[in-house]
Structure 1
Amino acid sequence: MRRLLLAAAMLGTVSAAHAADMPDLPFLRGSFTDGLSRSNVNWEGYYVGGQGEYGAITSKISSTINSDIQSTFVTPGPAYNWQPLAFAHSNSAGYGAFAGYNGQWDDVVLGVEANYIHGGFKSTSNSVGQTFNNLNAVIATTVTSAVVGVSDFGSLRARAGYAWGCFLPYAFIGGGVGSQTVDRYASASPSSVQPATTFASKSKLVYGYSGGLGFDAMLVGGLFVRVEYEYLRVTSDIESNVNSVRAGLGYKF
């Protein structure tokens, strides 16, 4: 019996020594489940990430924005019936990146972030006008349209959040600059008796501001996911408003 107890004690000593000599492998220290169950996450530091978005854009174009183009058309007989344009709308998607720095005081997190979106946001408005004769037959038709695109926008944000376990809900506000393109078109039938301007386009650097809400969720190590809502208003030239939702993946160093 004494020999059996002595052998068991020696085996336990050898096993403990062997476990102490094993290397501490980082991938064995945590998992996605561990990350989502952590009660104290340190959000302080630099971070970078990528994101995608989907949203709706509305551009407040003037109803007579194409009057200069329309004036180049001269009717050979029947009067043209140009119809005014309404506000332009569309839905679209985009993608981009973000980078920033967080400072943390207990559960309060304050930071600054650079945010960029490359998108295909193009709001479109068009109208058709017709002229009728006494027999109610169409004798002249006009088509006019305007497309306002906000293809790129970069902003600098101020963020304020509250660390709640592995989650960081936050609000942000910022301002930035972007590229706005305005394409205008008009046509009329029957053809005019002199050459007419049918198309005009211009691009311009515009500015605006943004604000919204979101949250980051730490997964494992410094890897986190992001979901947020943003309202963007372009206030120069033609006013455009974009409401979008975003999802992203980032890493905090």
Structure 2
Amino acid sequence: MHILKYGLLIAALSSGSAAAADSQSALADANFDQRWSWSGFNVGVIAGYGTQSDEQVPPGGGTPVATAEGDGDVYGAFIGYSHQVGNFVAGIEGSFQKYDTTFQDGSGVTIEDMWSVTARLGYAIDRFHGYAFVGGAMGNTTAPIPQLVGRDIGLVYGAGLDVAITNNLYAGVQYQHHDFDDFADLPVGVDINASMNTYTFRLGYKF
């Protein structure tokens, strides 16, 4: 009789332990399935603020003979692809940014828009993703004087941080720096070396 009771007790305990183990395993699997992955195609929109400056130097270099600055709003869109291996995330991104920034030196030169393609490398911890990037950019200007209207290709680099909101939606902040040497080789008797700093909020969707 005692043996039967002990047998029933052991069977009950074993059944309970197995059920608990199965429950913990299922919970672990569910948590694993809920982990965010940054791999995939993504698209989004951009909005923020930009500052710009230039130095007008004699051809070939030397002491600047004049400088100019400006600032204004920035907005645009981006599309890209990322692939995550472990905690590391690599990707490529193309973006278009429309600027409402005018140099405040009376020239009337306005940064019209900026196209860029960048390579990105980042580190992700679940739903947080910090990254740096570098690439090429093409900038366009408008001005009341035709000689100051130009287009040039320069360098862009920066860093950002994205945070997942839902399984597909994420938001982030980003800093960009653009550099242009002798912008568009404009026929104005000096080399115009221009740079821009852009601070933006980003809202993206990952497929």
Q: TM-score, normalised by structure 1?
A: 0.59
Q: d(CA) in 1 for partners of 2:139 and 2:35?
A: 38
Q: Which residue of 2 aligns with 1:118?
A: 98
Amino acid at match of 2:92: V
Q: d(CA) in 2 for partners of 1:245 and 1:124?
A: 20
Residue 164 of structure 2, aligned match among 204, 218, 223: 218
Q: Which residue of 2 aligns with 1:244?
A: 198
Check if 1:53 corresponds to 2:14.
no
Show the 5 A alignment for 1:95-134: 95-125=75-105
Q: d(CA) in 2 for partners of 1:176 and 1:229?
A: 15
Q: Tell me the C-alpha RMSD between the 2 structures.
A: 2.2
Show the 5 A alignment for 1:227-242: 227-235=173-181, 236-237=183-184, 238-242=192-196
Q: d(CA) in 2 for partners of 1:97 and 1:42?
A: 22
Unpaired runs of 5+ residues, structure 2, are 1-32, 59-64, 185-191
Higher helix share: 2
Q: Which residue of 2 aligns with 1:207?
A: 153
Unpaired runs of 5+ residues, structure 1, are 1-37, 64-84, 126-144, 185-199
Q: Which of the two has higher C-alpha Rg?
A: 1
Contact 1:47 1:99 in 2 (8 A): yes
Q: Deviations for 1:86-145, whole angstroms, at most 9, x for unmatched residues?
A: 3111121110000000011111100000011000122122xxxxxxxxxxxxxxxxxxx4
Contact 1:60 1:88 in 2 (8 A): yes
Q: CA deviation at 1:239?
A: 2.0
Residue 160 of structure 1, aligned match among 94, 116, 121: 121
Q: Which residue of 2 aligns with 1:68?
A: none
Q: Which residue of 2 aligns with 1:80?
A: none
Q: d(CA) in 2 for partners of 1:182 and 1:114?
A: 26
Amino acid at match of 2:155: Y
Contact 1:181 1:201 in 2 (8 A): no
Check if 1:172 corresponds to 2:133.
yes
Q: d(CA) in 2 for partners of 1:88 and 1:46?
A: 39
Q: CA deviation at 1:183?
A: 4.2
* Percent of aligned pairs sharing the same letter: 30
Q: d(CA) in 2 for partners of 1:93 and 1:201?
A: 25
SS in 1 for 2:108: strand
Contact 1:39 1:166 in 2 (8 A): no
Q: TM-score, normalised by structure 2?
A: 0.72
